[in-house]
């Protein structure tokens, strides 16, 4: 009887004992992860100089999409020295690469863009237009910073993986020609992300944050329409000519009249990339380059098809021929809820950098110079985690159901529709500037960018450790991807198997400006920073800007004092 009683006691207590042991083991595991995260954060901080040097080096190269030759050589050489296996020229793109280290699962991809903006050359730390090379490209978005962030974060995690024998593979890669949305769909099409378990993408911003779901942006198709006619003497025998330029102009007129009858979510814009040779020769060849943007895959396709019809009409009116080529594409972005939540927990632990008076002075002066909506300087409070844009249609006058308004595009979307992906934004740029503009380069090789990169790297390193050490996180991320994101919407490429990356784009521009820019490439062996190399006092602002900032600050203090006084009353 006594033995039976003891057995019953054991059976009764066993679940409780097992639960207690599991709870203790979970706590031990959690404590270990927290300890490793703290080490990773410390390693990132210790490598702040390396982050600054990578950031400033890429800033000085100032290379346009598909022509990122110096960035390619610099980054691949650096990663090979760090023990990564580098595959070069992927997807038929000379400046594209994939660098891997480690073995086994999970395979985690970490990427960021590297190209810059035409005519955006700007001296860093100067709060007014002051180009390094007049008319040259420059980092007027801030793509020089993302690889600095990723490399420092990944190297910190790699060191821990080696010591702790943590299984997994880290994969670094660049967004080549993102400004042309020209490569990531090709990466996906050619299978470079086929076996990847999760992707963290980093993009410059003005706060440290992350979002999930539909972010409200548009997808697009980038298309060049080529018209061919017949040359002739423009004065002597114009009747023998068939102007390809006339066809281009008529297409643009047709498209602009059609805009009135397109949905409000569309964004479309064009440049005449070839308008003929000289006025006295009827142009036998001309071309126009369009971006067709919309909020959903079917609407992007429909907009593109409308453009083809208008091009056909223009060709008929001018008795010319036309062809078209797709230069790039992107779906609307959709990022992973599970991964975003994990990243945001780490973001809250990292917080924002402590900005110096000089940092804030540069930011405010730049905001005033560019007539920004707000002149509050750099962010001092974290944003909340970004939530999905509502996809519920709004019924408009006439019974048309319209999804919410869209905006810009990013070809990271094609990867986000292929596997669980998040976009980590970090505070290296100044809020309220125009974007795709020389002013957005003002901060990008200054302490503002350097601090933003380091804080972003801390959050990324911590999130990488979560993905490596918590198998349930990747499992749940895939469950969201399969059961929610792609339940009713399936990814279909906007490019076909026949399209090839437009690697010829920007060649002429870089051939003109690269020799001029080479004189200003950063030399970290001689100078601590690019600011020092250029001899720039930080920050450089005019007296009138300094006075304007002073007035804004005084006004803010006065308003704050009035609010405080009214509350006390």
Q: Residue 98 contacts by C-beta under 8 Å, 6 or more apart in sequence?
A: 86, 87, 90, 171, 172, 173, 192
Q: What is the mean pLDDT of each run of 10 residues along the chain (569 residues)?
A: 58 60 63 97 98 98 98 98 98 98 98 98 98 98 98 98 98 97 97 98 98 93 98 96 98 97 93 97 98 95 98 98 97 97 98 98 98 96 86 52 71 97 98 96 98 98 98 98 96 94 97 98 98 98 97 86 63
- pLDDT in the model for residue 355: 98
Q: Sheet with 168-175: list strands edge to edge.
A: 85-88, 97-103, 168-175, 107-113, 198-205, 421-427, 209-210
The token duo for 555 is 């006004």
* CA proximity to 180, closest of 497, 436, 456, 431: 436
- pLDDT in the model for residue 55: 98
* CA proximity to 95, closest of 75, 70, 68: 68
- pLDDT in the model for residue 163: 97
- pLDDT in the model for residue 141: 97
Q: What topology does CATH give the domain 219-329?
A: Alpha-Beta Plaits (3.30.70)
The neighbouring-strand residues paired with 204 are: 426
The neighbouring-strand residues paired with 36 are: none
Query: What is the C-alpha to C-alpha distance for residues 438 and 528, in angstroms, rounded to an integer?
Result: 24
Q: Residue 283 contacts by C-beta under 8 Å, 6 or more apart in sequence?
A: 229, 231, 243, 244, 245, 275, 276, 277
The token duo for 441 is 């380069």
- pLDDT in the model for residue 558: 81
Count of C-beta atoms within a 10 Å radius of residue 500? 14
> How many Å from the N-terminal Cα to the C-terminal Cα in the chain?
78
- pLDDT in the model for residue 207: 97
DSSP 349-418: HH------HHHHHHHHHHHHHTT-S----S--SPPPPBPPPP---EEPTTS-EEPPP-----THHHHHTT
The token duo for 156 is 């910190």
Provide the whole-model pTM.
0.91
Determine the Cα angle at 414 with ends 336 and 186, to 5°: 145
**Residues 350, 424: contact at Cβ < 8 Å?**
no
Query: What is the C-alpha to C-alpha distance for residues 527 and 537, in angstroms, rounded to an integer?
Result: 14
Ranges of each domain in the chain: 25-114+136-216+333-357+409-433+446-516, 219-329
**Residues 109, 199: contact at Cβ < 8 Å?**
yes
- pLDDT in the model for residue 564: 62
Pick the CATH number of 25-114+136-216+333-357+409-433+446-516 from 3.40.630.10, 3.40.50.2300, 2.40.50.140, 3.40.50.620: 3.40.630.10
């Amino acid at each position: 009887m006594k033995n039976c009683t003891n057995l019953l006691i054991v059976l009764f207590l066993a679940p409780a004992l097992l639960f207690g042991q599991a709870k203790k083991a979970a706590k031990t595991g959690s404590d270990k992860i927290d300890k490793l995260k703290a080490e990773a954060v410390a390693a990132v901080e210790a490598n702040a100089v390396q982050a600054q040097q990578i950031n400033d080096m890429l800033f000085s190269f100032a290379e346009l999409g598909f022509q990122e030759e110096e960035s390619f050589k610099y980054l691949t050489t650096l990663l090979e020295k760090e023990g990564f296996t580098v595959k070069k020229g992927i997807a038929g793109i000379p400046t594209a690469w994939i660098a891997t280290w480690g073995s086994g699962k999970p395979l985690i991809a970490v990427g960021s863009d590297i190209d810059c903006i035409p005519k955006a050359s700007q001296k860093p730390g100067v709060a007014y237009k002051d180009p390094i090379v007049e008319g040259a490209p420059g980092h007027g978005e801030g793509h020089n910073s993302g690889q600095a962030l990723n490399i420092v974060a990944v190297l910190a995690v790699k060191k821990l993986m080696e010591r702790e024998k943590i299984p997994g593979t880290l994969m670094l890669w660049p967004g080549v020609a993102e400004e042309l949305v020209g490569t990531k769909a090709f990466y996906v099409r050619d299978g470079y992300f086929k076996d990847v378990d999760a992707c963290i993408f980093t993009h410059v911003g003005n706060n440290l944050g992350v979002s999930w779901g539909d972010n409200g942006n548009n997808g697009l198709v980038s298309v060049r329409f080529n018209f061919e006619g017949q040359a002739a003497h423009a004065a002597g025998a114009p009747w023998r000519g068939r102007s390809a330029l006339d066809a281009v102009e008529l297409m643009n007129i047709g498209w602009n009249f059609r805009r009135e009858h397109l949905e409000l979510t569309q964004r479309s814009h064009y440049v005449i990339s070839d308008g003929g040779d000289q006025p006295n020769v009827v142009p036998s060849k001309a071309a126009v380059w369009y971006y067709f943007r919309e909020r959903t895959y079917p609407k992007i396709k429909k907009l593109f098809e409308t453009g083809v019809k208008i091009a056909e009409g223009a060709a008929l009116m001018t008795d010319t021929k036309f062809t078209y080529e797709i230069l790039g594409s992107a779906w609307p972005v959709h990022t992973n809820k599970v991964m975003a939540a994990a990243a945001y927990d780490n973001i809250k632990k990292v917080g924002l950098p402590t900005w110096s008076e000089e940092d804030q002075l540069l930011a405010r002066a730049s905001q005033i110079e560019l007539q920004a909506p707000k002149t509050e300087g750099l962010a001092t409070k974290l944003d909340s985690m970004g939530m999905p844009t509502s996809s519920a249609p709004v019924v408009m006058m006439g019974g048309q159901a319209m999804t919410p308004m869209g905006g810009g595009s990013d070809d990271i979307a094609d990867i986000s529709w292929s596997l669980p992906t998040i976009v980590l934004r970090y505070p290296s740029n100044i809020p309220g500037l125009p974007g795709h503009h020389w002013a957005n380069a003002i901060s990008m090789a200054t302490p503002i960018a350097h601090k933003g990169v380091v804080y972003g790297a801390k959050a990324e390193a911590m999130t990488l450790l979560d993905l490596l050490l918590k198998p349930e996180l990747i499992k749940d991320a895939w469950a969201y991807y399969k059961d929610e994101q792609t339940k009713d919407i399936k990814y279909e490429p906007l490019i076909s198997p026949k399209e090839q990356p437009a690697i010829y784009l920007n060649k002429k521009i870089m051939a003109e400006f690269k020799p001029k820019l080479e004189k200003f490439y950063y030399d970290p062996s001689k100078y601590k920073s690019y600011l020092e190399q250029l001899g720039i006092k930080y920050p450089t602002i005019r007296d009138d800007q300094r006075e304007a900032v002073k007035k804004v600050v005084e006004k803010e203090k006065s308003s704050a004092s009035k609010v405080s006084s009214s509350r006390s009353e």
